[in-house]
Amino acid sequence: MSKSVRIISVCVLLVLSGPALAAGPEAPAPKTLNALPPLVKGVTESAMQYMDGQWDETAGLIGGGGSHGTRASAQYAVGLMLRNGPGDAARARRIVEALSRVQVDAPESADHGIWPPRAEERSSLPDRRAQPSLDPNWREFVGSAEILLLEEFRPLLDDPSVTLLEQGLRRAAAGDHERRVRPQYTNIALMSAQMLGYAGNRFDVAEWREHSRSLAGAIHHNFKANGSFDEYNSPTYGGVDLYGLGLWRNHPVTPDMAAMAGEMEEGFWRDLAAFYHPGLRNLCGPFDRAYGMDMQHYVALAGVWMAFCLPANIAPLPALGPDSSKDGERFAIPSYALLRQEPPASILSQLQSFEGERQLRRPIGLGGMRVATAWLSKDLMIGGGITPPFKDSPEQSHAATAHWFGPDGSVCWMRLRGDFRMEATAGKNTLSILCRKALRMKMGDSVRFEVHAPGARASRVEAGQWHLPGLDVTVATALAAPSATETADGVEIRYPVASDTREVRLELTLTHVSEHTSPPTP
């Protein structure tokens, strides 16, 4: 056989060898569900049980009734490949095909590269550059899942699926490059830097690589200033932050990004552990963004990462069932399981048992103009902060909070709500609050405290004193006496505010008064 014939024969053999050989002899075997540590495997199996129940065989996506989620479907595909049981890989390939069909392909539009949150949604900007009509964050959420499919499970994919995944990432990176996510939008910025760098390397696009390096550097610079992210103390988005850092660490686009990820990941865990109360099984406020106030009753993604290293009876994650909200966040769990890394032993001990009363003060991000404060004791924790300026989410921002044990040992909580900007400072048994008129907005007609404390009575709320189950609160303020309304799980307390008011102050002293048996800790 001539040399030229031998070369041709080898090339034909490579083409016919299929996807597994194309991944290269050095490619590691795909990770498996059974290889995960027991706690991680248990949480992931529970999540997959939930996801399997949401599968729509006809649509090839998660959902039903004319509403099929693209992010959930992409994350389910990662879980399917991780489990790799009978039919799982084929189901994942169907998801890849369905996602490809609904992604926006309109290079002149601000929607270019976005997967609509629901597959049934359509872009209203197919041919023009404008503000996105669809949620642009779905580029990062779905795109990061597609990176995991390519990087972790290439031997299980057929070539058409790889082509579709690469097509989707190319579109998403092109649209994301035009969008230019701010480094202060921490959870999305971390994923954006990863996707732009990954796509820039894979498709050899220099401007995407440079954008990635610049954004990653800005995120790291802001973090180093005070050891905190700009989007601060979110029970949900803290979990996304760890996911983004895990992507940087496990699939680094540059050595510098991998090193930055390690530094920020350890610093983030230390801060998370400082604000976490293992007895109350909750993070202390203030919360820049939070979907709930008790991590035992809704799926908060930071709680998922803690559940990977804590026994179920002390982890801040609700059991699968009808009583937990935000259950859809469980779809992220397999991706997190792929990227998880055990926190240092000193941090793990802080997550397992309460290590004593403490006062915390954290300047936030670059400049440290905003400051988060917290005080944690055995039975009571208080958080105070400043309303974040970067995202208009008043329903998610909680700058004045408290958590305590009720008479029966259950978790009670309260938070301040209203149409104003807030500055609050937490101290030992104290919460000082300043509410200011927001720019170009009315002050609102009341300062409203939402209290979750079953058994609370409106008759026990007086002008300068509230007697709540497990907590006495003394209030000093120039505002008129409040009104109180009993709710299904507590009481709402409203202080009236005159229409021409520009600012109001309240000084609260909180004293835990109940005797109870705290939940056991290891």
pLDDT means over runs of 10, the chain (522 residues): 41 36 55 94 95 96 95 98 97 98 96 97 91 96 98 96 98 97 95 98 98 97 91 93 97 96 96 96 94 94 96 92 78 97 92 96 85 97 87 76 96 91 95 83 81 96 95 96 96 91 93 66 44
Structure confidence at residue 397 (pLDDT): 86
Q: What share of the chain is helix, strand, coil (3-state, %, to 5)?
A: 40, 20, 40
Give the number of other CB atoms < 10 A from CB of residue 91.
Answer: 17
Structure confidence at residue 395 (pLDDT): 74
Question: Which of the 8 DSSP states describes residue 325?
Answer: B
Answer for the pair 416, 504: CB distance below 8 angstroms, yes or no: no
Give the number of other CB atoms < 10 A from CB of residue 288.
Answer: 28
Structure confidence at residue 387 (pLDDT): 85
Separation of alpha carbons 233 and 27, rounded Å:
38
Separation of alpha carbons 469 and 282, rounded Å:
19
Structure confidence at residue 20 (pLDDT): 36
Structure confidence at residue 444 (pLDDT): 72
Structure confidence at residue 18 (pLDDT): 37
Structure confidence at residue 418 (pLDDT): 81
**Pair of tokens at residue 342:** 């055990």
HEC per residue, 385-423:
CECCCCCCCCCCCECEEEEEECCCCCEEEEEEECCCEEE
* Predicted confidence (pLDDT) per residue in 189-199, tens digit: 999 999 999 99
Give the number of other CB atoms < 10 A from CB of residue 320.
Answer: 16
Structure confidence at residue 481 (pLDDT): 94
pTM assigned to the model: 0.91
* Predicted confidence (pLDDT) per residue in 295-328, tens digit: 999 999 999 999 999 999 999 999 887 666 788 8
- For residue 500, what are the contacts with CB-CB under 8 A and spacing of at least 6? none
